Amino acid sequence: MHRVTPSLLALIMLIAGMGHAQSLADAARANRKQKAREGATATKVITDDDVAASPDVTIHLVPGATSTGGGTLLAPGMWKHHYSVTNLDATRFSNGGVLHIEITLGNGPAEASFDLYSHGARLPTDGFPNPLANAHDVPSGSTAKIDYRFDHGTVLRLCAEGSWHAKAGDRNIYNFTVNVGSR
């Protein structure tokens, strides 16, 4: 009995502490929502409540064809990343080629940045990105191009987000065409 009591007491304290922390989080969330209704917030804080996880989209690239895609991007704030990801499956190009992407950005408030990563690369959540190719600080209503040469069939990820210069929480839409040319 004496051996079980300290363990049982520690377990009860742990559960009580977790319940208290959850209550604090719930109270903070309710307070944030209440302030938003009253119009008392001066700055926008982006939380997981604001950002829905976008489903994985894969475009299977076919020789001799142009494919299209698009989405909505969100400005994450300075030095942060929150990508909208489209997988570009170029595995049918066993001898490689040149990936040509032409992106048209909507007229929304957020400027945009587009990064191209290999399928296995870890996407950054903050700091400077290290993509294979990119188009950064694309103004609203304009067009950007990304060209990337690859040596063998592969899957790449086109990652879109609002630029660091856009106000955190601003959104915009984008559309793109993609094809693979010969080397």
- The pLDDT of residue 76 is above 90: yes
Between 22 and 91, the higher pLDDT residue: 91
Mean pLDDT of the chain: 85
Kind plus residue range of the DSSP H or E element containing 72: strand 67-74
Predicted pLDDT of residue 105: 98
Average pLDDT over every residue of 14-27: 60
* 38 sits in which H/E element: helix 4-38
Contact 115, 83 (CB under 8 A): yes
For residue 182, report the phi and psi dihedrals to the nearest 5 degrees.
-75, 160
pLDDT of 53 reads 52
pLDDT in tens, 160-182: 999 998 999 999 999 999 999 98
What tokens were used for 27?
């109270």
- The pLDDT score that the predictor gives to residue 44 is 55
Q: What are phi and psi of 153, to 5 degrees?
A: -55, 135
- Position 56 confidence tier, pLDDT thresholds 50, 70, 90: confident
Residue 41 predicted with pLDDT over 60: no
What's the distance, Cα to Cα, between the start and end of the chain in Å? 76
**What fold characterizes domain 57-181?**
Jelly Rolls (2.60.120)
Tell me what the mean pLDDT of segment 66-80 comes to: 94
**Local confidence band at 109 (pLDDT 50, 70, 90 cut-offs):** very high
